[in-house]
Amino acid sequence: MSPIFIACRKFDPHCGEAWSSYIAWSGLQQVTELVSLDNILCPLIIQELIEEDWEYNVHANNRVYFFRDYQYLKRRIAYDASQHNLLGIFERPTQTPAAMDAFTFCGYEIWDSHESISALTNCGAFPDVYSPAELNQFGLLTDLAQANRIAETIRKTHWADHHCRDCRVWGVARYTGC
């Protein structure tokens, strides 16, 4: 199971009023930083591709802003740990992803059918499926079996919502190296 990589903006207390408003709306008092695949809360940094990107990006499934080489992505965005999250992500993991040099595993995200928003932290929650208290300090789930169970229940009970029909579990590791 190999990761692909994305670079997104950090969303944490340094974001000021946007953070305070989000925490008040979501009720996620335990979250100290949102480490998420959600493109609204943590937008992708690369918005336009350059020619060199095509040597390193993913050429399938509308994932051209996903990359196979984190070192390239780190250089490409002029990585700044105070503003950016460089994430190694694992689609539909069947086990906890193996440790990677320079990355720390943060947990499991449930990404909507369109790979745009988090079903855990930006869909208004699903109180009939899980409690926000089940999320860790990053707004993620820590247990893969639990994440799979929640994603399956969301798909079955909220199938009429186009965001939920094919929501998937992703493993999320954050770059913590130099």
The alpha carbon dihedral of 134, 137, 140, 145 has a sign of negative
Q: How far apart are CA 60 and CA 80, in angstroms?
A: 28
Q: Could you say which DSSP state residue 165 is in?
A: T
Q: Distance between CA atoms of 136 and 81, rounded to whole angstroms?
A: 21
What does DSSP assign to residue 23? H
Q: What is the pLDDT of residues 142-155, one digit of tens each?
A: 999 999 999 999 99
Alpha-carbon gap, residue 57 to 114, rounded angstroms: 19
Give the model confidence (pLDDT) of 55-66 as tens digits.
Answer: 999 998 889 999
What is the predicted pLDDT for the residue at 153?
95
Q: State the pTM of this model.
A: 0.94
The per-residue pLDDT for range 78-117, each reduced to its tens digit, is: 999 999 999 999 999 999 998 889 999 999 999 998 888 9
